[in-house]
Structure 1
């Protein structure tokens, strides 16, 4: 018997069945038995034979439209006979009613369209097997608990009332664990949707808001009140961006797949920004956040958003833990290693000290998740640094963050993101203006990016979706196209392919097309390049990254003298 279950593929097309079996055997190895059936009736016979032998089907992948029993009918019957079997529908001809029936009556795990993407179906099957394994283990544990409780009931009848009270607490705790495990399974199923929403629907507008204060400062002198408001906007937006980035990257860090891209980070500015955001909270309990004045700026070789998350967590915890009418001391020391120390006069509870950086470790703070110090420790580690803690009832608590020192910086503040940089010098060696087409559905992104193409060496045109980009490219044949990926009407990949075909057919020199996306991990960048883009820019990107892309575009289009 296969302890991890059996995979059953059902399709009336034998070619699809053979392709599925070959793909899954190659991806999963010999650990799983893969059965195939050419109809719903045959699939039910296989299920019946397996159940007679005491075996189970872990995952069933069924086509929708088949002679005789349809895919949704098969999955509903499968779920009735084997409720723990994970069901997946794979088809190119389904209707909404059929999918809805499968979701409601067969607990449909995932719906994939034909022709299927090999990587998508392998990832889906692996996720389904993991969900099946987790549920099977959970049910086994619950069965064991139920048997144990039954045995205990015989003895508990002979014990005093206090022992019966303990039984009630055990039963309550069991129910709580069941509810948490069910919630965890649901969270795993929606992980992909959350990541997509976070990347595009949340991160893109936040990046635009973060750039607004610098655009407002350009060419004018702000009053102190106006500057305070802009700083508040920057602080709040950076905090929100930090939370979004952390939620997306924490899993990759834990699995070892996170790619660290260091840059020079102004630690002094981050500390000041975080302290400003916490000033009102500190004032409410008469706590003073002390940061030395007039110290030179300290730069670390790190990631801006990760540092913001670490410092935000540590300083907020210090303010919360500090006794009233006390001071939280922040010390930032430059050297071969950057050292940031945050001290408060409160002590970590004795029972928490040994596992202070463990996941879900909490001292019972209302609303606490136990992820703050754990994530901060992990964020320091992925940046090649460390995070330590020293506490005692006499001396209070000190958290010490160590990071690598950045290379020496110029006296001018470095650019980090669009809207935060010094003006780009004009290139006087241009034979003609570089025609640039910016394609993005976000109006604010247009405004922010357009600010980088005001020099005479550029001629900028804009489009709000892929269809408009095709029309503009046909009319002007731009040298450089900066293309957003996710847009209404037509996305960036489809538009890029159409422009390539259009220019080839017309015998035109190909445009240098850049993928401009919030999906900035190495895997996504490689995928964009394989699809036909010439380069990639993340959202947000720095001026140095944009300059590098412009140089590549100049070389390809031969617009320099």
Structure 2
């Protein structure tokens, strides 16, 4: 346990969810001494399997176990006084007026909700939370199962929070469900055309073309899932070559035309810069295609999906626009792994893959703008 002091937002800082109030450094020191000197707190930190945090009434850390210190960045030597999201490096902290727990997004954080509920009820609360963390230039999704339990130490009311990292299991399950879903759909199409060929109800040339399209899609799906697994482990390297921006848009438009919902939407490709860019065209196409599929699924019959590219100094921005607006309550969760507005198990990896490939591998910036005029997903990369 480290006792160095650090600066944090003022106690009177505004908040969009949980209270921003914090203990003073002296109050924290006295609370930490009481906590560390209590036999139950000591037992929890040394005997429990998992990552352990002891929090005070303002959700600030008083003590941790050694396992916690092995998995978080403590390079600045400061642990005491932080809140959980600040210790882990949650990306929402940067935009929070009063630190962890005070962002709009914190209203959907399983950890914050469990802590507040345990404080309110005085009972242990079990939950799961999905955090997106900043690791240098990379972002990383982690999923925890946690239990927040009230802990009385003399006159103090603390919380013992025990976390177990489920990231590997959740990642594998999500990828497996998505893989089986996508491959099963393609195999169903291949089987249907093969049966038609066997029945002699259509010309072999027509069927051969359909089967060639489906096997090409199947090959791309297999490569895409393999690439995602590699990217999650930081093992995927881009294969950079010169390509025209219009080639990316045409490739995406061609693949999008095979999407069932795209047949009832208008897909428009705007003129693109004629200057070559240097990137991995396959990975970039996957990012823009995920944006386009997301736009199709978020639009209605007869609406127009627009694909475009434009130069911005040394960079180029690829954009996909649809007329719909993203509801305010889900905007902060759009890029979280496994989050989906469609409610299907194993879905929701499309927007996550945009960030995974676009930022962690291509070293670009991925984001979106939304409002009454519609929604535009974009990727900005150096050309």
TM-score range, shorter chain: 0.3 to 0.5
Higher strand share: 2
Greater RCO, CA 8 A, separation 6+: 2
Using the size of structure 1 for normalisation, the TM-score is 0.32
Using the size of structure 2 for normalisation, the TM-score is 0.45
